[in-house]
């Protein structure tokens, strides 16, 4: 280490040596323990050339100024005052048994390693008995007493020796085994001798009966057949049966065609849109099995939409003939709005439209009269036919009274008779917001009306019309119209499938 030099300033000195460890003692000796290091440089000695150049370290340091506060040397562990506090001393006393146990375990481990090495020594000249194997190699199945944990010291000093107290304390006597109760043997049943039976008199058998001569049979007179009264059997109304949702055959996973993750995502999206898990799995399974071989996994959504759109039933060809359409449904189902939108659309196109409000309140007339569409109020089918007179409209729309699960059976039966007399197509209005269970209840209540179509209403209030779509699909009823607050239009299966799986 070379001597220190000055760099021109009285209070700054430069120290040069091979390493910083060599310079620090010299800095403390010359400038004091509170010396301040200002700069450190490293380099090689240029006096010796080439390979013989030696590295060096230069440090600029100075003594602290009088105005500077002395640096307080602190310990990361604790100060002397903190170490002498009762709490820290209590912690040390608590940790001492654990540290002793660790040290003992380390010594045992080293002894076991030495024993293990000695037991496999290659020296076989002597026949000395084999040393006892280490504890970790002994029979683990033998029960060993678990050592009691050392008594821990409390926060304010060592606690009493628990094991010593337990050894001195009298041990409770073991309870004597309970003696089994002696049950006396049951007495053997005595044999009962039956009483002697007295000799009964023998009764002689009765004489055989004398056969009487057969009486002559009276002549059989055939009575004239009575005419049975003719009983008219009412024709049962067609039911709106809803078959169970198709159960997936799970063949899409066993056909050898890999199922991409996009198929699982599409299935989850259908379920979230209101489609039952069974139908969603069946639709996606068909798309994977019979659509994916002709396309790519990135087109999974398009394949699922195509499969679902093919399953939505559509109306049969209508032709240019006149139609009579009745919209039925419960209160708030949107049936009156659907009638108003359809009437306004046909009237705006120049077609002759007739609107019948069957047992209504007159609200539909207030809505359509400003558009130039007249409304016929009628109490039943007979009155409606009489008021239509000789008119031959292209489209006759019938707004029916609210009918649902709470309606009386007589009212539903009367409405069914009126619609049959008018020869109307019965379109059941189902809101897009209805749940699957509620849709089933409405369909069961309107079954006597023999619905022929399903009209989807309130489509602007939700993007998940899965429940009414599945009802129409399961029942096999064509989906006729899609109605919202702004208007009505014929149902488009492709657009509905895209709404379910955007």
At residue 172, the pLDDT reads: 57
How far apart, in Å, are the Cα atoms of 467 and each of 46, 267, 331, 437, 454?
Answer: 90, 15, 19, 9, 12
Fold of 323-500: Rossmann fold (3.40.50)
If pLDDT is split at 50, 70 and 90, which confidence band does 253 have? Answer: very low
Burial class (CB in 10 A: 0-12, 13-18, 19+), 210: exposed
Query: Distance from first CA to last CA of the chain, Å, rounded?
Result: 80
Half-sphere exposure of 275 (CA within 13 A, CB side): 27
CA distance 55 to 222: 146
* Chain Cα centroid distance, residue 272: 11
The pLDDT tens digits for 394-436 are 999 999 999 999 999 999 999 999 999 999 999 999 999 998 8
Q: What percent of the chain has pLDDT over 90?
A: 37
Phi, psi (degrees; rounded to nearest 5) at 437: -65, -45
Show the CA angle centred on residue 229, arms to residues 223 and 230, nearest 5°. Answer: 135
Strands 12-17 and 5-6, by their bridges, are antiparallel
**Closest C-alpha to 431, from 358, 330, 297, 348:** 330
| Domain locations in the chain as residue ranges | 5-62, 261-311, 323-500
The model carries a pTM of: 0.52
Q: CA 134, CA 203: separation in Å to the nearest integer?
A: 104
171 SS3 class: coil
- pLDDT per residue as tens digits for the range 28-76: 888 888 888 888 888 887 766 666 678 888 889 888 887 775 555 555 5
Grouping H, G, I as helix, E, B as strand and the rest as coil, residue 294 is helix
Q: Are strands 353-358 and 395-399 parallel, antiparallel or unpaired?
A: parallel
């Amino acid at each position: 280490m070379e001597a220190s030099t000055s760099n021109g300033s009285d209070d700054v000195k430069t120290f040069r040596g091979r390493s910083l460890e060599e310079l620090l003692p010299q800095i403390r000796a010359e400038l004091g323990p509170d010396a301040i290091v200002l700069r450190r440089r490293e380099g090689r000695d240029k006096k010796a050339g080439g390979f013989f150049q030696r590295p060096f370290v230069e440090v600029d340091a100075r003594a602290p100024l009088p105005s500077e506060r002395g640096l307080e040397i602190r310990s990361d562990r604790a100060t002397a005052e903190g170490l002498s506090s009762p709490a820290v001393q209590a912690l040390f006393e608590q940790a001492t048994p654990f540290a002793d146990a660790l040290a003992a375990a380390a010594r045992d481990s080293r002894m076991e390693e030495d024993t293990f090495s000695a037991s496999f020594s290659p020296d076989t000249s002597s026949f000395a008995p084999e040393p006892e194997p280490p504890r970790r190699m002994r029979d683990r199945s033998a029960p060993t007493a678990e050592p009691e944990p050392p008594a821990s010291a409390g926060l304010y000093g060592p606690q009493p020796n628990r094991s010593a107290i337990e050894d001195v304390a009298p041990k409770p006597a073991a309870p004597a085994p309970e003696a089994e109760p002696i049950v006396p043997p049951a007495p053997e049943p005595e044999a009962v001798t039956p009483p002697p039976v007295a000799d009964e008199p023998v009764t002689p058998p009765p004489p055989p009966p004398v056969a009487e001569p057969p009486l002559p049979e009276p002549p059989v007179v055939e009575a004239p057949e009575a005419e049975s009264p003719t009983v008219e059997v009412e024709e049962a109304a067609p039911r709106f049966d809803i078959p169970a949702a198709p159960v997936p055959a799970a063949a899409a996973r066993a056909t050898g065609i890999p199922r991409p993750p996009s198929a699982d995502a599409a299935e989850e999206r259908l379920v979230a849109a209101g489609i039952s898990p069974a139908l969603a799995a069946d639709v996606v399974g068909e798309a994977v099995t019979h659509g994916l071989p002709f396309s790519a996994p990135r087109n999974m959504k398009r394949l699922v939409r195509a499969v679902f759109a093919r399953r939505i039933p559509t109306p049969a060809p209508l032709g240019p003939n006149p139609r009579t359409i009745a919209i039925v449904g419960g209160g708030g189902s949107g049936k009156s709005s659907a009638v108003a939108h359809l009437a306004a659309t046909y009237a705006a196109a120049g077609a002759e439209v007739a609107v019948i409000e069957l047992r209504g309140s007159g609200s539909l007339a207030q809505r359509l009269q400003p558009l130039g569409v007249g409304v016929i109020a009628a109490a039943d089918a007979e009155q409606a036919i009489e008021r239509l007179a000789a008119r031959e409209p292209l489209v006759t729309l019938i707004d029916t009274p609210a009918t649902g699960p709470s309606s009386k059976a007589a009212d539903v039966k009367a409405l069914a008779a009126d619609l049959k007399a008018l020869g109307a197509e019965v379109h059941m209005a189902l809101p897009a917001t209805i749940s699957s269970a509620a849709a089933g209840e409405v369909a069961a209540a309107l079954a006597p009306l023999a619905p022929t179509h399903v009209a989807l209403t309130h489509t602007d209030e939700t993007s998940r019309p899965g429940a009414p779509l599945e009802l129409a699909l399961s029942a096999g009823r064509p989906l006729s119209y899609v109605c919202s607050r702004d208007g009505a239009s014929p149902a488009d299966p492709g657009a509905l499938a895209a709404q379910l799986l955007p």
